[in-house]
Every structure is written in C-alpha cells, then in structure tokens.
Amino acid sequence: MSVVVVSWNACHHLRNCLTSIRREGADLVREVIVVDNESADGSPEMVEREFPEVVLVRAGRNLGFAGGNNLAMERARGPLLALVNSDVVVHPGCLQRLVEHLQSHPEVGLAGPCIVGPDARVQGNCRRLPTVWNNACRALGLDLLFPGVPFLSSHEMRHFRHDVRLEPEVVSGCFWMVRKSAVRAVGPLDERYFFYMEDVDWCRRFREGGWRLVFLPDARATHFGGGSTANAPIRYSIQYHRSNLTYWDKYHGAAGRAGYRALAVTHHFLRMVVRAARRGLRLGVTDASRHKLREDVACLRWLLTGRVVE
C-alpha cells in the first residue's frame, strides 16, 4: 500500500499525520509520498528532517488537492492507495481494516473510514450527489431545522449516524483508500476543480464505472479541519462555489450552473440578513460571527459580480 499526503502550509498537522501513519502502518505501508504545494511554513524541511523514510515531492507551485494527489498517484507503486489529508490522524487499526475490506471485496474501488473531529464527534463523511432539491434544502437551512428527516437533510446526509456500513453515493475526500486498478479505469482526479468537489466528481465517476464505494464505521480517523484552508478562509469559501459551478456545468450544463448560482446567492443572502440582525440586536456577537458575516458578504459579491474582496 502507498500513502499519499498533499500539504500546503500545514506543518503542525502534517507532522501529526505522518507520525500516526508511521505508527499504524508499519506492516502495511510500502511507501509514503508527501506532495508539498509550495509551502512557506517549513513543512518540506520538517519532512526531510523528521521523516527521512518519506518520499517528498516539491511541486514547485500550488497544484491544489486534485493536482497534488494526481502527481503522487503517478509515482505510487502500491496496488492500494491511501489518500490522506494533511490534517488527519489515523487511529489504530484503521489502515488494516480498510486494506482487509478491499482485499476481500474486489468489486469495491474506494473505501472510507468514519471521520471524527478533535472533539470526537462524528463529522459525517457520507454524502449524496448534489441535486437541485438537496441544494435547496441546504440554501434554505431546512437540513439544520430538521436534521433527522432524510428528505430534508441535504447532500450532507445529516440524518445518517455513521454507525453502520453503507454504500454511499459520495465519500468525503479527506481520507480514501482506493484500488489502483480502479483509478486506471476511472481516470485521475479532475484538476479543473483545484480544491473542493473533486471528491464528489471522482465518486460519481467510480460509480458510473461500475465500482462500488463503501463506508466502514469500524475504521476511524480524526480530521482536524482547516489544515490548509485556515490560511485563507474567504478565498477558499469562494473556491468552494467556483468548484460547485464547475461541477454543475460539467454534469448539468448552463441551466444547472445558473440554478446552483441562484441557490448559493439565496443561501448567503439569508445568512447575511440573519447575522446582520443578530449583530444589530447584539445577540451572540463574536469574532467568529463577525468573520462569518464578512465571508457571506464576500461570497455574495463574488457570485453576483465575480469580484474577490477579502
């Protein structure tokens, strides 16, 4: 098995990630490949100094999630590939459980573990493919108002407790194990996304190619979140919408792209109104809420005008 980690300015998280892989993968991991997307925080130097067994690839520029993983997968030699985010820590037995399932189920092309946050709460990495309806549920906040109702739970499947094995439409890309032969058949990650939605696109292509996807609740990992995106939160929020527009255009054409844009505008406008009202009434105003309001304003401006103002 080969492990692939793509990193951008996430030195502390990357160190913890590689430490967990070293600890848990001794008898399983053939190689660990880290692709550094031109970090400026000392990440590549840390890898060279503290993890000499790791193959470090300096990309020379920021290739994004898709580009970085594709670069590493081209070099990987193992029949199974674990694609692990730099801000993920692998739990004991996780890699072993994923390997065992793929080895005993040749029809499965992609498997994912149960992902928990640093507070040990399940993050929810099983998703549905985006539709007009589940995007409308997200835009209007129906998934938050009625989290236990499957029909209203949006693409994030807030109703699913992640405690049983499932074959979902999408497994979140923070931690995958994939079969290299399936990757050859399906093709690499679509680099037009740069960041976000490449996981949805890839899972869709796996399923369309006849490969099964599986979620294994008894394999676990912690995802701290924001390992790279915290360096430029508003930029990445806009990138989220840019990637969604790419996805909708790819699979649903101009009408789908326009529909997504309308729902995204509605979503941010409603959030902005609610946050502005709470701010005016001095209800729960925090640094985090002020940042979220700035984020809503920035995303709304970009969706309407194409201008980026951070």
Residue 230's pLDDT is what?
A: 57
Can you list the residues of the chain whose pLDDT is less than 70? 226-232, 281-285, 309-310
Residue 229's pLDDT is what?
A: 56
Nearest to 29 by CA among 87, 88, 61, 76: 76
pLDDT in tens, 22-57: 999 878 999 999 999 999 999 999 999 999 999 999
Residue 43's pLDDT is what?
A: 96
Residue 309's pLDDT is what?
A: 62
Nearest to 114 by CA among 69, 149, 164, 158: 164
Residue 288's pLDDT is what?
A: 74
Residue 47's pLDDT is what?
A: 97
- Kindly list the distances between the CA atom of residue 251 and the CA atoms of 24, 65, 164, 257, in Å, as whole numbers in the listed order: 39, 21, 30, 9
The CA distance from 102 to 221, in Å, is 18
Amino acid (one-letter) located at 296: D
According to DSSP, residue 164 is labeled S
The CA distance from 71 to 63, in Å, is 9
- Token pair recorded at residue 137: 């549920």
pLDDT in tens, 209-265: 999 999 999 999 999 986 555 556 788 899 999 999 999 999 999 999 999 999 999
Domains of the chain listed by start with CATH number: 2-125+162-227 (3.90.550.10), 232-305 (no CATH)
Residue 285's pLDDT is what?
A: 65
Cite the DSSP H helix spans in the chain: 11-24, 43-50, 64-75, 94-104, 132-139, 142-145, 180-186, 198-208, 233-280, 287-305
According to DSSP, residue 97 is labeled H
